[in-house]
Amino acid sequence: MKILISRSYWIKGILLFTTTLMLLVIAIAPAAAAPFLENGNRLTMFFSWDHVGSGNFGDNGYESFTGTACGVAFPVGFANVGFKTTFDTSEGYYEIFSDFNGNENLFMNVSLLHMKDKAGNSVAIARFGASRPLVMDLDQGGRIDCTFGPGLSVISTDNATNLSMFLQAKTKVYFMEGSFIYANGLYDFMYKAANVELGIGFSY
């Protein structure tokens, strides 16, 4: 017998699981995380230009968009927790995220996104990523932080809930104390969609 679970329960379940995982990550993140997050004890604000590629997995795809966004991140223990949304509220795009360093060789991130599908309905995406960090020091106190690695997505639409794999790369360049520019890229293999984010941030 096939048991059907409504989409609302899937979204609530994904939200509960992601929130629980974020809290667990924050609780168990070791003290070794602090050296990598140089500005980890500061409030960070950022502004970005985003392109979210259209998902094309059958009828369960999500709509693409290009626009500007803003967000804020703050430290909780040895992790960063933040919120991001677009200036164009009609897109219905917002994200809750958390990231931390397990050790000098492991960077992990968890995020919960809300988007729209091609019919204008809600899409919930939970992403869990693990990356290898690389830190390069520059002259006059500058620094480049890079991460690269795979991840798993749980994508819930009106029609179905699917699992997908993605590959992500992130680069953050600190030119001076308290300010940085960054570039993030992500490719979803099942949905054949590429996301690009370019931005600037300030820590206080």
**pLDDT value of position 30:** 43
Pick from 84, 51, 77: nearest CA to 66 = 51
- Model confidence pLDDT, tens digit, residues 141-162: 788 888 899 999 888 877 778 8
Q: What percent of the chain has pLDDT over 70?
A: 69
For residue 130, pLDDT beyond 80: yes
For residue 199, pLDDT beyond 80: yes
Could you tell me if 62 and 116 are in contact, meaning their C-beta atoms sit under 8 angstroms apart? yes
Q: For every residue of the chain, which 3-state class applies, written as one string? A: CCCCCCHHHHHHHHHHHHHHHHHHHHHHCCHHHCCCCCCCCCCEEEEEEEEECCCCCHHHCECCEEEEEEEEEEEECCEEEEEEEECCHHHCCEEEEEEEEEECCEEEEEEEEEEEECCCCEEEEEEEEEEEEEEEECHHHCEEEEEEEEEEEEEECCCCEEEEEEEEEEEEEEEECCEEEEEEEEEECCCCEEEEEEEEEEEC
**pLDDT value of position 197:** 93
Q: Look up the pTM and report it.
A: 0.73
**pLDDT value of position 18:** 63
- Model confidence pLDDT, tens digit, residues 40-60: 457 788 999 988 876 554 444
Taken in order of first residue, the domains within the chain and their CATH numbers are 7-33+40-203 (2.40.128)
For 57-78, what is the mean pLDDT?
Answer: 72
- Model confidence pLDDT, tens digit, residues 167-178: 999 999 988 777
